[in-house]
Amino acid sequence: MQPIKPRHLFNNTTQSLIYNFKEVPIQSMLDFDYVSRRSIPSIAGLIKPGCSMVMHHKIFFGQEEIMLPIYGSISKAIECQPQAKVFINYASHRSAYDSSLEALQYNTIQCVVIIAEGIPESQSKRLRILSERLGKIVIGPATVGGLQAGAFKIGDAAGSIDNVIESKLYRPGSIGLITKSGGLSNEMYRLLSIYTNGIFEGIAIGGDAYPGSTMLSHALRFETIPEIKMIVILGEIGGTSELEVAEAIKNKRITKPVAAWVTGTCASLFPTEVQFGHAGAKSGVANESAQAKNQALKEAGALVPDCFNQFALLIAKEYKRLVDQGTIIPVPIYNPQFLPENYVNMMREGRIRRATGIVSTICNDRGDEPTYAGISVSEIIQEQMSIGDVISLLWFKCRLPQYATRFIEICMILVADHGPCVSGAHNTIVAARAGKDIVSCLTSGLLTIGPRFGGAIDNAARQFKHACDTGIPPDEFVESKKAEGQLISGIGHRVKSQHNPDRRVQILIEYATKSFSSLKYLQYAQRVENYTLKKASNLILNVDGVIAVLFLDLMNSCASFDNEQIEEMIEIGFFNSLFILGRSIGLIGHALDQKRLKQPLYRHPWDDVMYYPIAEPNTKKKEDQIGGLRVNLSTPNLQDLT
């Protein structure tokens, strides 16, 4: 037994599945739902062909955000959302037929909407035949959709939310509208809201020569819907749909008042056949002309104006007659649910302002290409700027002189790596051999940077600057730190000594001596070193210390920095940042090296660990009860501890 064709396609609980979805139509549907005061969204789920797992799409429903499920197939979506009755198909003309055909096979789907243009006529005919046999309805192809006022809207039907509200589509009226044109349907919604109490249902059947459902099928359906008191038809040149409606009026199959107009009367002014925008809108056959179809509708008893400009007035006159005789009771006027405006649109149109949450003064990525401190990346590349120049732009927000940027690069080269045995490299290697990704390996190594490894540069700069600026004698500076129980950052090395100097320190000092105009902080640090070497030969100025004092001298040499700025750079961590950046190069190298060598999981050898128990193995055992479980607690023999 075939299912009975529904009189109402939609109601205020109808839900849909959207195939090959697009975000703008989805938001348009949900905005309509909200202003129409629907209790549930009209979209039950989205279908993204090929998606291997159920995902979610975040979108606004009024002021709140909701999550719409995304399914990878039609079957999965229908299995999970059996209450969905409408299938809205945004697939291209290449796949719209197959996906629509599949959707029609499911008992739960009662209406299929096909947005795509260019679907072969043979496929459209097959879809129409199948849907009629199953008692279902296909809207389209080449349709914008349709709506039931205050209940359900298909995609972009009715245009913007402003037009929806202006056309009073958030509540039902008494008019049933059938058009071929999606664009003109928007205009008709507005006109009908002005000259009548608005529409109850509007359908744009699509502009193809063989749509999935005809004007007649919808007009006959409107005839059975009690809420629709008047039918309005806006046709166009080409095809016989309007003639079928005229015949139904003549045969009394349609008894409700019908106001109709067929566009394209200007085609008679052209000497040859004319093709308008839609595939089915073309002149040629005499009885398919706009004039012939308008005349047939008028002779059948439809209300047909002499021109389109009179159409709205003719509708208004008939509407008033229906009101006067009590057939139509005007709908009480009420305001729609308030819809919050889209923030992005308001910002784009300059209708709102807000305080920013983040401030950036070093980079701007809003144009065609990013800029670093106002200089585009194209300009940086064209001028062959170095990585030192880029650091100066992003860290100092200015272009430092070449000797300064070269010094930055030398520091990075010298601290890039110091072998696999230092703590940062060791941690990176262990993480890499544990199978961790590059980011995790790098982070593992970077987390070891601190006062004892690489992180002493900030503190060295702070200590040496304060001592030098306040004029503390080197010996007094050293002894005061000793009395306070503090180490002097930047002094001392586990391997290098006065007789085995660190070549990196020598390279930095040699470069600075040739390039810097001031070396007062280096000279002060060297005097401190002369004093500490009297205590031990390994208490030398190490690479952390020399980087710290030379950067102080560098900034002191550049007119770009005053004392307040230098103090700020120390406090915000600039000096350590240089070590972190440089050492990252080596840590990444170690991680890649271990992965390239396919090294196995690392386990530290037992013979490199001193196992020194604090008690002998013979311990006194006792049992205790904890949380309902009996456990053994071992207490060392007190004599063993003594």
Q: Which of 367, 388, 370, 366 is nearest to 379 (CA)?
A: 370
Q: Which of 237, 227, 145, 137 is nearest to 186 (CA)?
A: 145
- Catalytic pick among 278, 426, 493, 590: 278
Dig out the tokens for 477 from the structure.
């500076």
- Alpha-carbon 37 to chain mean position: 28
Question: Using CB atoms within 10 A of its CB, is residue 439 exposed (0-12), middle (13-18) or buried (19+)?
Answer: exposed
Is 26 within 8 Å of 243 (Cβ atoms)? no
Q: Which helix (H) or strand (E) holds 294?
A: helix 290-300
Distance between CA atoms of residues 561 and 565, nearest Å? 6
DSSP summary character for residue 606? G
Distance between CA atoms of residues 20 and 41, nearest Å? 19
Distance between CA atoms of residues 512 and 103, nearest Å? 76
604 is catalytic: no
Phi-psi region of 301 (alpha: psi -120 to 50; beta: other; left: phi over 0): left
Question: Strands, DSSP E only, in 368-503?
Answer: 371-372, 375-376
Q: How large is the greatest C-alpha to C-alpha distance in the chain, in angstroms? A: 121
Distance between CA atoms of residues 474 and 526, nearest Å? 9
Distance between CA atoms of residues 114 and 123, nearest Å? 12
What's the start-to-end Cα distance of the chain, in Å?
A: 96
Dig out the tokens for 237 from the structure.
């040149």
Please give the positions annotated as active site: 278
